[in-house]
Amino acid sequence: MIGLFGVGVSMLCFGLSTSFWTLVVSRCICGMLNGNSGVMKSVMGELTDSTNMAQGFALIPITWCFGGFFGFVLGGMLSRPQDRWPNLFAGQFWAKYPYFLPCAIAASVVFVSFIFVFLLEETLAAKRKRKIPSDTTGDQILEASRSNESPSENMANVPLRLLLIPSIIIPLANQTLLAFLDICIFALMPLFYSTPNYLGGLGFAPPAIGSWMALFGVIDGLFQALFFAKVVDQLGPKRTFYIGISCFAPIMIMFPVMSWLIFSRGNDYMVMIALVCQLVLIVMWDLSLASIFMFITASAPAKNVLGAINGMGQMTSSIAHAVGPMFAASIFAFSKDHNILGGHAVFVVLCVPAVGMLWLASYLPKELQNRDEDE
């Protein structure tokens, strides 16, 4: 609930910003108050067990994909409403704050989510309220509390340093590298789409870029919902993770392939086929996202330390998300400005950490730890 409150306040402040630094402050509010990505994974880990973990974690990428799709649509349609609907949005307020409307709509969605949290039952065992009959005696309550105490509850206050063990660090390291490469992909996509044809890009206009990325969001969400759990059941989480991360190099290769097609054939149907192939590869890449969530959840020695483990994962992933776009965009611009490897050096550079992740993934356990018998 604190996280949702932070997102809502941040969105409203973002829409009311009139300078660069107020934009920065509004985003910092979100960063300081919102840790709901880690909370969401912890709740999912506490709600599921080894029999339905794949189905549960398949829902997380779906929410991101559909949220991203509607976010792109609402942001594009509702910004500058005074220009689009001057009779409905007349007045100085809308002229001064042209981006407040989409931010206000986003904040209202957060408010609805806040209300729904009241219907969410607490999943942390140590905080869950037990229903005690009115005629229960004090001795019965004491005996029940002793009998209900579990190893999971005893580990609720484990020091963070005791969680820095290989079985936890290895999945977290894989998640961090995965987050870095994932954000690099989505930083490069709009850059490459908008780069003019004579520089080797697709030369798409902003509406076309938004349409392609929205289409990807829908296809990706549907694929993860319909097939992720089935793929994990057939191949296992480690092999599924390997298949996902193995798609990174082909994704990078498709960028110079499309550039070559642009130079040799022009912007014809072959470029569209290559673009669709790349989007399919990115959908396959996203199999690795839910897979690594499963490994991180299974690495927890007890469900009560999931929050701490996911908190560490959220911290390292946030750092990767901060560094990734800056790194990818800078190397992209440097490659184009100096015509290094035909302007495609960035795609070769990013394949280096991708190979490193293949090596790091080999240290993941072959099977997920089954904690169901211990709790």
Report pLDDT for 153.
Answer: 47
Report pLDDT for 253.
Answer: 93
Distance between CA atoms of residues 230 and 235, nearest Å: 9
Q: Give one word for 48, left, alpha or beta, with left for phi > 0 and alpha for psi -120 to 50.
A: beta
- Our CA angle for 197, 203, 208, nearest 5°, is 155
Report pLDDT for 151.
Answer: 45
Distance between CA atoms of residues 115 and 109, nearest Å: 10
Question: Among 291, 267, 277, which residue's Cα sits nearest to residue 216?
Answer: 277
Report pLDDT for 250.
Answer: 94
Domains and CATH numbers, the chain: 165-374 (1.20.1250.20)
Report pLDDT for 352.
Answer: 92
Report pLDDT for 139.
Answer: 47
Report pLDDT for 125.
Answer: 66
Report pLDDT for 271.
Answer: 85
- Our CA angle for 76, 80, 81, nearest 5°, is 100
- Pick out the chain residues at pLDDT < 70: 50, 61, 124-160, 303, 369-375
Report pLDDT for 251.
Answer: 94
